[in-house]
Amino acid sequence: MKNILVTGGAGFIGSAFVRRMVSKHPEYTIVVFDKMTYAGNTDNLLPVSQSGNFRLVQCDIADREAVRSAFDSYGIDTVVNFAAETHVDRSILSPDAFIYSNVVGVHILLESAQKHGIERFLHVSTDEVYGDIEGDHFSVEDDPFKPNSPYAASKAGGDLMVRA
């Protein structure tokens, strides 16, 4: 039995992943762990909210004690990290929240996962870390990072913590 912690699971992409996993994989328990910022929306999760293999915990990935408690309470063995501040324009106006969630939050989640012997940690990045792409080119994973906004820089910082 896999118990999967899906951070940011009430957001746009995370909730699509959760809806699919809950309905197609009843053998897994899906625990959504989300701070419910302006971007989190429980309506995204309504189609699966009554399912026996679905749980929702409102918490912050940068809150060490809350992460530890979720890992223990639900016997988590797998983490999928979608949680992030994601809006480029907001990051230019007010970058603090981006550093907090996308760098410090990722660090705390990783550190907690390591302590709890989590089997698999899947971290979601963004092509924004590679900067502007010319013409019809596309980026590959080992291209150099050239972030052009606090959002992209904070995602690159979190990615580097995952790599390290």
Residue 26 vs 69, nearer CB to ligand NAD: 69
Q: Which residue is nearest to ligand NAD (CB)?
A: 11
Integer Cα distance of 96 and 154 in angstroms:
10
34, 128, 130, 159: the catalytic one is: 128
We find the least distance from the C-beta atom of residue 39 to ligand NAD, in angstroms, to be: 3
We find the least distance from the C-beta atom of residue 100 to ligand NAD, in angstroms, to be: 7
Token pair for residue 111? 């550190």
Can you tell me which residue has the tokens 């907090």?
A: 100
- Residue ranges of the alpha helices (H) in the chain? 12-24, 64-74, 88-93, 96-99, 105-115, 150-163
Active site residue 128: yes
Integer Cα distance of 33 and 20 in angstroms:
16
Q: How many CB atoms lie within 10 A of CB 77?
A: 16
Token pair for residue 22? 């809950």
Residue 26 vs 94, nearer CB to ligand NAD: 94
We find the least distance from the C-beta atom of residue 163 to ligand NAD, in angstroms, to be: 16
Integer Cα distance of 13 and 10 in angstroms:
8
We find the least distance from the C-beta atom of residue 162 to ligand NAD, in angstroms, to be: 12
Helix (H) or strand (E) holding 108: helix 105-115
Give the binding site for ligand NAD (CB under 6 A). Answer: 7-8, 10-14, 34-37, 39-40, 60-62, 82-86, 101, 105, 124, 126, 155
Residue 13 vs 46, nearer CB to ligand NAD: 13
Residue 26 vs 155, nearer CB to ligand NAD: 155
Active site residue 100: no
Token pair for residue 60? 């912050």
Active centre residues (catalytic): 127-128, 151
